[in-house]
Structure 1
């Protein structure tokens, strides 16, 4: 009876196995995640200063049914509207003063309006971040204050986008 012993030089060698399925492995970054189009909440006010309307429409969009309660949506929009109601009348007054003095100051009298408008936008962005952290990220939504082109013209306006966060497959094996 003879026993074949493996060659001791080949004993510690690590061989790489060629797997035919390696070409079919797709990383999760490449996989498209299904996300519906974001919901656009446009300004509904009668005064607009540098693209920022004085009020947003609080009508509940049908796309968000089952995602968020209509009361929560209206509360969030009313918070944004309250911020606009507090800040925008001051901006309008400075805009009128700036327009009256524009010729004498070579346009420098419009700087306070631009700075106040920027401060109003930043406060709305902070408010929406607070809303996202408080509620909407838990529901798979993200509110964003952004600038978009108006429909039918080249003018820009500020809108609230309600984006859907992609769902990650947590039960998928690694």
Structure 2
């Protein structure tokens, strides 16, 4: 690919993102950046790393802020259910992505094997092994979500802790600071 072709592709990508929102444009830019890795391991906004990024959010701060908005037990329980549902949706998205990637990988392994590209096939098989490991971790996340254990439960506990801190903060500010 020549320099002018690369420059044209970058300009085309920039023009096509003008009408998008800021968030969708940054997602597109991230995907464009990752696609230039030429087969290197992609970490960040794909596959299992989406789940890790979600679970690393500051759920304690979210719980705290939610308690300041509405210190109601029903509101807390609804938000906990939303965290679980969001994680469930994310797990399904990642499973679909991994299944599609596995099919593509199997096709390339077969077709490149027929073409006699032995080293490339070996490299693809290593990637396939990594993908199998990621798929098993996603199944672990799914099981831990269903059984309320593991890293998924960590997010819920952090949210609950933050919510309790927010409720305690309201009490501190409104009642305990008053003199009798």
- TM-score, normalized by the shorter chain, greater than 0.5: no
TM-score (norm 2): 0.31
Greater per-residue strand proportion: 1
TM-score (norm 1): 0.32
Q: Which has the larger radius of gyration?
A: 1
Higher relative contact order (CA 8 A, sep 6+): 2
